[in-house]
Amino acid sequence: AQSVAQPEDQVNVAEGNPLTVKCTYSVSGNPYLFWYVQYPNRGLQFLLKYITGDNLVKGSYGFEAEFNKSQTSFHLKKPSALVSDSALYFCAVRDPGGSYIPTFGRGTSLIVHP
């Protein structure tokens, strides 16, 4: 079975500071990992994914995520937060050897203060 955990309901950061949104996963094989963002009154939008290769993945809007196999983590990061980054962020995992359907976390609300 595949699962993903987002341990923080909310992350607060000041504009201009670095941000991290945490995600840990559990799969039986090598994971496919995704980050999505949801702005108010909108659906989820794809940010980035890790399939294989370099552990540091770069995505849209200056976001990046680091795959850490030993810690089973895939934390989302950005060097300098913007107020417009305030949104709900979802981590998702797929086990390529199992279901094709991604399992999503419960989301983390990121609030960037001016």
Partner 1 sequence: ETGVTQTPRHLVMGMTNKKSLKCEQHLGHNAMYWYKQSAKKPLELMFVYNFKEQTENNSVPSRFSPECPNSSHLFLHLHTLQPEDSALYLCASSLRQAAGEKLFFGSGTQLSVL
Contacting positions for partner 1 (CB under 8 A): 4, 9, 32, 34, 36, 41-46, 49, 51, 90, 94-96, 100-107
Beta carbon nearer to partner 1, 42 or 113: 42
Shortest spacing between CB 77 and partner 1, in angstroms: 20
Cβ atoms of residues 36 and 94 within 8 Å: no
Shortest spacing between CB 10 and partner 1, in angstroms: 10
Shortest spacing between CB 19 and partner 1, in angstroms: 20
Beta carbon nearer to partner 1, 40 or 114: 40
In order of 30, 38, 43, 74, 84, the CA distances from 25 in angstroms are 11, 20, 23, 8, 27
Beta carbon nearer to partner 1, 79 or 98: 98
Cα–Cα distance measured from residue 9 to residue 99, given in angstroms and rounded to the nearest whole number: 27
Shortest spacing between CB 17 and partner 1, in angstroms: 25
Q: For residue 109, with 0-12 CB atoms within 10 Å meaning exposed, 13-18 middle and 19 or more buried, which class applies?
A: middle
